[in-house]
Each structure stands twice: as C-alpha cells, then as structure tokens.
Chain A
C-alpha cells in the first residue's frame, strides 16, 4: 500500500517537473517565433471573418478528381526534389531520342530496297518477277509495256554478250 502511494507520488513529481519544464520552454520562445505566431493568428482570424463559412461543396473533397497537370504541379511544389528528378529524366529521354534517331536512319540501308531492282541479272529475282507477272491481271497496254521491257532486257543481255 505504502509502495503504491510512493510510486504515485513519484509519478506526480515527475509529471510536475515535466509540465514545469514544458511551461518554461514556452516562456523562453524566441521573440521572432512569438511575432510570427501572432501574425499567423491575425491573418487566420481576418481571413475567417472576411469569408463566409466554407460549405461542404466548396471545401476540397478528399476524393476530388484533378487534372494530371494540377496533380503534378501540387506534388512538385510539395517536393521540389521530385521535380528535379522528373526534369532530369525528361532531359535524359530527350537526349536518348536525339542520339537514337540518326542511328535508326542508318540501320535501314537504301540498298536493301534498291538491290532487287538493280540486280536484274539475279536469277532468283528474275524468276520472282516472272511469277509475279504471271499472277497479275493486266490489260493489253500494260502487257505491251511489259513486253517492251522484256525486249529491252534481252537486248541489253545480247549487247553484253557481244562485248565479252
């Protein structure tokens, strides 16, 4: 019983000490903090008396849907580090695209497209064109053009042979 009483009195003493220490710390607040607090209070009270009480619809509801731009602006204002990381990523992506574009152009050589047309002597290509022609539905004029082309090819082959 006595032990409980002494524990309680120790507790009370500890509490009193803590409360007095806390009160003392408030009394020792720096003057600039006091003046900032007074300024904040004044602004809050003035603003409150100017504005009518916010209705529920005027207050930003928790689940309010906001645009992406607004969301990111808010986030970046709250955390400037995020903004710098995002900016860094954008710059890196832009630089990457700039580096990749010329490479991509080089990757498709024009010869890949023109070779089958230039190498008309290539047997496989000739066969391919012949098969393509056989399956095509062509009228008389077009057929005449094809025959003329065939004649021109044959003539050039003959000329090559006579030269060699």
Chain B
C-alpha cells in the first residue's frame, strides 16, 4: 500500500470511528431496528470510502451524513411501499431498548442537572425524539446533535434551508411542551 493511501486509510478509519456510533443512533431512531440501522450505516461507510475518500477530509462529515440520510429516506420509502402492499403483515418492531418512562419526582426546569440525573427523563426525551416525524427528527439530530450547519442539514436532507428551520422550530416546540408537561406533573399541579 502506498504512503498516501495508508494515510488516507488511517484518516478515514479515525473519521468513521468518530461518527459510527452517532450515525448508528441516528439511523436507529429513524428505523427502530438495530439490523436495519446497521445496514444503513454499512452502506453509508462503503459509499463514502468508495466514492469520496480522495475528497478533503473536512468534506467527509457532510458527505457521510448526506449518504446516510439518502439511505434512511430510501429505507423509509421502501417501508411505506411494503406497508401499502403487504398491509396484513405489519412489521414487528424490535423491543424498545428504553424503559417505559416513569415520572421523576421533584425535578424542575430551573435545575437541569437535577433533571438530567433522572435516567427516566432522558428515556422520555429519547422517546419523544424517536416519535417525531422523520424529517423533524433528522433535522433536529443533524443540526443540534451532529452540529451540521443549516445549509449542510438542508443538503443532507435535500430540502430548503427554510424547511430545516421550520422542522427545527416544530421539533423544539414539542420538546419544550413535553418538558413543561413533565414539570407540571412533577410539581403536582
């Protein structure tokens, strides 16, 4: 193996090691299935390495997420078609790996660290994100979790920057509503 190829391979390995778990989580949230999420991440990794490894390394991240999002959308389209034609065989979703959320007592928005201490609240937040419509969910994850810019998110999802902002706003609204409800229940009012 030549020196530049080795360097690229090492850089790619480092980059993929950095994004693989988060990418898996993004795909898992969209598909609700470990196996499908692994397939999607695998495709994204192979396509990035096969087609874009010679691009500058700073371009890899948006490119990788763009491929990942393409695959997630493809998966979603395929599922919609399958559900349409094979409506009688509804896919049994894998067991949710988050426990049923139970209201933690005595926590308030004023003390976020205390709230975070509650694993159940985290599970509830994750459930809410999983339940968001696909584009809202993916916008939220790419923009706020992966730290992509609005334009990069828009490119990855092949929607306009305006749509990204709208999806983000709606997702944030739902998250805040959920947290407020949680707080109200916790304070018993």
**What is the CB-to-nearest-CB distance from A100 to chain B, in angstroms, rounded to a whole number?**
29
B window 100-117: CB within 8 A of A: 109, 112, 115-116
Chain A contact residues: helix, strand, loop or mixed: helix
B181: interface (CB < 8 Å): no
- Cβ–Cβ contact A15 & B21, under 8 A: no
**What is the CB-to-nearest-CB distance from B171 to chain A, in angstroms, rounded to a whole number?**
9
Specify which of B38, B50, B97, B122 is in contact with A20 (CB 8 Å cutoff).
Answer: B122
Specify which of A11, A21, A37 is in contact with B20 (CB 8 Å cutoff).
Answer: A37
Classify chain B's interface size: 35 or more
- Cβ–Cβ contact B175 & A48, under 8 A: no
Which of chain B's residues have a CB closer than 8 A to the CB of A10? Answer: 109, 176, 179
Interface string of A46-76 (1 = CB under 8 A from B): 0111010110000100000000000000000
A44: interface (CB < 8 Å): yes
B30: interface (CB < 8 Å): no
Which of chain B's residues have a CB closer than 8 A to the CB of A48? Answer: 9, 12, 49-50, 53
Additional A-B contact list (10), CB under 8 Å, known A26-B21, A29-B21, A53-B51: A14-B175, A15-B175, A17-B116, A18-B144, A36-B38, A37-B20, A40-B41, A40-B42, A41-B17, A81-B86
- The chain B residues found within 8 Å of chain A, CB to CB, are 1, 5-6, 8-9, 12-13, 16-17, 20-22, 24-25, 34, 38, 41-42, 45-46, 48-51, 53-54, 78, 82, 86, 89, 97-98, 109, 112, 115-116, 119, 121-123, 125-126, 129, 140-141, 144-145, 172, 175-176, 179
